[in-house]
Structure 1
Amino acid sequence: MRNPFKAVIVDDEPPARRLLAELLGEHRQTIHIAGEASNGSAAIELINGLRPDVIFLDIQLTDMLGFDVLKELNYKPFVIFTTAYDEYAIKAFDALSVDYLLKPLKEDRIARSINKLQHFAGGNDANPVWNNIESIFNGFRPRKEIKTLSVKKGTKFTLVQLSDIVYFEAYDKYTYVHTQNGQRLFCDHMLAVLEEKLSADFIRVQKSYIVNKQKVVEIHKYSNNRYSLVLNNQDFTRIITGPSYFGIVKEAFGV
């Protein structure tokens, strides 16, 4: 039988640290708590000094994200995230880390996390968080969302408020902006680029369209894995969603 995993707890809330330590105390044969840290800066120094086998890491700390801590470590421990994010927002962590613990912490989830830790440590599987750290790190960064968009209008460029845009359309290698008052303007961005720039009010519903969710007035079941969206512009434009976007649309509108 291997020695207990040396562990460090990182959380900016003292009650959360105490509770986690108490729950982990029921697994003394498997987990030895070597230290605790209340912020990211202290965690980096502590972890690099102690070099624990596993860290229980809160995603949102007072001075930085938990991912900032990981990027400053000089080695790669196993990681179990703790978070108050809702379950939908962290589904990806099932694949990206040893495990995640959703607050409020529960004893059965602690036991399951320890079992997963033993599985990873006992095999040849790489710790997935280190293979995907950049993508998940960026995913939890606040996005710099634009408020206006530069579009071509005749021989000049003008700024359009995002709130006035009903949808974007990719057509014949070009992208067009459709506004509330019926204008169709040329946009010098591909839809893939716009997806990264636009606010959460905008959602891609098929390969050729991004719509403003605030401008959708009706949603109809169209066929298997498709919806028909009716938009609040002068023509009450209808857009048929793509089958590969079915889950995204369903989740976005709660239908």
Structure 2
Amino acid sequence: MRTYIVEDEKPALQRLQNMLTGIPEIELIGSAANGKDAIVEIDALQPDLLLLDIHLSDMSGLDVLQLITHKPAVIFTTAYDQYAVQAFEFRAVDYLLKPFSQERLQEAISRVRGKQTAPDALKELFAQWQPPASFLTRFASRVGDKITMFTDDEVVYFTSESKFVYACLEEHRYLLNYTLSQLETRLDPEKFFRIHRSSIVNLNYVRKIEADSSGGYTITTLGRRPVNLSVSRTAGKALRNKLGW
């Protein structure tokens, strides 16, 4: 089973490599210490199994899964149990909390061989976990082998065009692998507001709001290149209530 490791801590990488050498069916074909390198190599090498740390230096392991085109079986390895819910959404084969034993690793790999997921284990983590108030704050956009990273504070608005969703910054816009509905539920509601079925605005970039002839509103954004965004009637009422006017 051709296996690739993504792990940003060298001691943890070496330990995992040593554990895997004792499993005959595993063939280690590579490793990466950051998300950008991992994305390029995973798509090039096309491993059967990906052992993926969630907490990386440049992006999360979940971002890596969003951006790769090759889709291997995935076993998450992490010291942070708060990611169990997202792992469940990605249908991970298993979710190993560090430090884990050789036996626990072997059990996870056995699941891969049997093409089984581990819903019971993940559901148990889900039931025990009380989610913190955490929101999407970092984004990664991939075009070919180029990956651009940016934060939510840089985003003026998100827009949907022809089934594609873009994050629009002041100078550029970047394609994202999210739907607007997903973004709406995972962005900080104190900063972002769904103003239309096709757009979400960063309230910190709103310069003015004006009523229009259709009964809706138009938002003009801040910045060197102001943009006018339509606000639906329903969203306009909710926005007025939120802003207190």
Instruction: Give the TM-score, by structure 2 length.
Output: 0.47
CA radius of gyration, larger in? 1
TM-score by length of 1: 0.46
